[in-house]
Amino acid sequence: MTENLSILGSTGSIGTQTLDVVRKLNLSVSALTAHSNVEAMEQQVREFHPQLAVMFDEQSAKALKIKIADTDTRVALGMDGLCDAACIPSADTVLNSVVGMVGLKPTLAAAKAKKNIALANKETLVAGGKLVMNTIKENNVKLYPVDSEHSAIFQCLQGCPEHKALQRLILTASGGPFFGKTKKELENVTVTQALNHPNWSMGAKITIDSATMMNKGLEIIEASWLFDMPADSIDVVVHRESIIHSMIEYIDNSVIAQLGVPDMRIPIQYAIAYPKRMESPVKQLDLTEISRLTFYKPDYDTFTCLSACIKAIKRGGLVPAAANGANEEAVRLFLDNKLKFLEIGELVTAAMNNQPDCQIYSLEDILNADKTARQFVIDNVRC
């Protein structure tokens, strides 16, 4: 079980919920990182006394340094700072909850520094799957999923007889705010409508990914790497209530599921406390209160991001990195009201089609594919 954590992205939705778990379990924190939220970082430094606080943004790092000059916490900045936080000697686990591809280098740095990794930052596995998994294996460290679906599968797999007994992974999806809508109805949806998730309160980027169902596509790729399963053996079922967090199926067609109220503190705590089970402030599940659990097939024609990700993992190589990079850029533009909702899927698909096939690649190639896909989106925005 983890005793000392470094938390990357500590001011975000997952980061603050992780600190809630840290409080309850009375753990130590060696490093905290954020992008530019100086106010939240100052509060966290004063409460958790880390050795290192990192602001990715340079001006924010300067501002934080002044604000916490009376503490013993050192301030660093940028990608070097993030990687320092990922390697800090006193932490045994790095919880990576930054949003986006920016999390890739720190994940690799953490593995090389022999840290176990609790991973929320799914973009890391989507863009750099093979490289990340190889680095994890070579350094003999553990990778614990924080994403609720992958934590559910990981929990279901405890006691699994052997990998070859596993036949299928079944990822559940809430369907987001636009479940059941037609393409026509989605043409003019607003940022506010897309940010209105029915079940989960999350950061803006993943909330938009849930609305487009890109999130589920990214999760198929994430699951494929984490559990060494081909995309054909990973199914998605829309489950509006978000009570079953995912399932596994054995070759005898027996299905095992993990259930709980939708609260990320359960998977966060499991990733940190593994293999222990600890008490938690999360509400108990009362199935009679919920009374009905429903299941539907996803609409792959309307939610083109989902079908794009399935194609991306099947093509392999740098195509998932291109899909992810294009999506990050398209979501940024959508949040800035510079892109229409349906254009996100169109641009992700087009950027993937623009990415040549290749099976052998380096970190530099991944970063280049990401950059090219982002530029492709910028060059092809209509308005």
Q: Which residues between 13 and 52 bind ligand NDP (CB under 6 A)?
A: 13-15, 34-37
* Stretch near ligand NDP under the rule CB under 6 A, chosen from 4-12, 241-249, 304-312, 358-366: 4-12
CA-to-CA distance for 144 and 142, rounded, in angstroms?
6
* Stretch near Mg ion under the rule CB under 5 A, chosen from 16-24, 140-148, 264-272, 297-305: 140-148
Q: Which residues between 179 and 218 bind ligand NDP (CB under 6 A)?
A: 200, 202-203, 205-206
Residue 341 vs residues 88, 134, 228, 365, 372: alpha-carbon distances, Å: 41, 36, 33, 29, 22
CA-to-CA distance for 173 and 287, rounded, in angstroms?
19
Provide the minimum distance between the beta carbon of 151 and ligand NDP in the complex, in angstroms, as a whole number: 9
- 52, 68, 75, 99: residue in contact with ligand NDP (rule CB under 6 A): 99
CA angle at residue 9 from 124 to 267, to 5 degrees? 75
Based on the shown chain and the rule CB under 6 A, indicate whether residue 121 belongs to the binding site for ligand NDP: yes
* Binder of residue 102, out of ligand NDP, Mg ion, none (CB less than 5 to 8 A by kind): ligand NDP
Q: What is the DSSP letter of 284?
A: P
Query: What is the DSSP track for 316-346?
Result: -TTHHHHHHHHHHHHHHHHHTTSS-HHHHHH
Shorter beta-carbon distance to ligand NDP: residue 367 or 380: 367
Q: Which residues between 145 and 174 bind Mg ion (CB under 5 A)?
A: 147-149
* Binder of residue 250, out of Mg ion, ligand NDP, none (CB less than 5 to 8 A by kind): none
Based on the shown chain and the rule CB under 6 A, indicate whether residue 12 belongs to the binding site for ligand NDP: yes
Written as six digits, the tokens of 173 are 């999806």
Shorter beta-carbon distance to Mg ion: residue 76 or 156: 156
Provide the minimum distance between the beta carbon of 228 and ligand NDP in the complex, in angstroms, as a whole number: 20
Shorter beta-carbon distance to ligand NDP: residue 35 or 74: 35
Q: Are 322 and 308 in contact (CB under 8 A)?
A: no
Based on the shown chain and the rule CB under 6 A, indicate whether residue 264 belongs to the binding site for ligand NDP: yes
Q: Which of 249-256's residues contact partners 24+ apart within 8 Å by CB, and which partners?
A: 249/166, 249/167, 249/168, 249/169, 249/170, 250/165, 250/166, 250/167, 251/164, 251/165, 251/166, 251/167, 253/167, 255/170, 256/156
Q: What is the DSSP letter of 296?
A: B
* Stretch near ligand NDP under the rule CB under 6 A, chosen from 67-75, 94-102, 254-262, 284-292: 94-102
- 6, 11, 30, 304: residue in contact with ligand NDP (rule CB under 6 A): 11
Q: Strand (E) positions, 239-313?
A: 244-250, 255-259
* Closest residue to ligand NDP in the complex (CB): 12
Shorter beta-carbon distance to Mg ion: residue 231 or 350: 231
Q: Are 119 and 93 in contact (CB under 8 A)?
A: no
Half-sphere exposure of 118 (CA within 13 A, CB side): 30
- 48, 56, 270, 376: residue in contact with ligand NDP (rule CB under 6 A): 56
Q: Helix 148-156 crosses helix 265-273 at what angle (to 10 degrees)?
A: 50
Based on the shown chain and the rule CB under 6 A, indicate whether residue 374 belongs to the binding site for ligand NDP: no
Shorter beta-carbon distance to ligand NDP: residue 52 or 98: 98
Contact residues: ligand NDP, CB under 6 A = 9-15, 34-37, 56, 97-99, 102, 120-123, 147, 200, 202-203, 205-206, 264
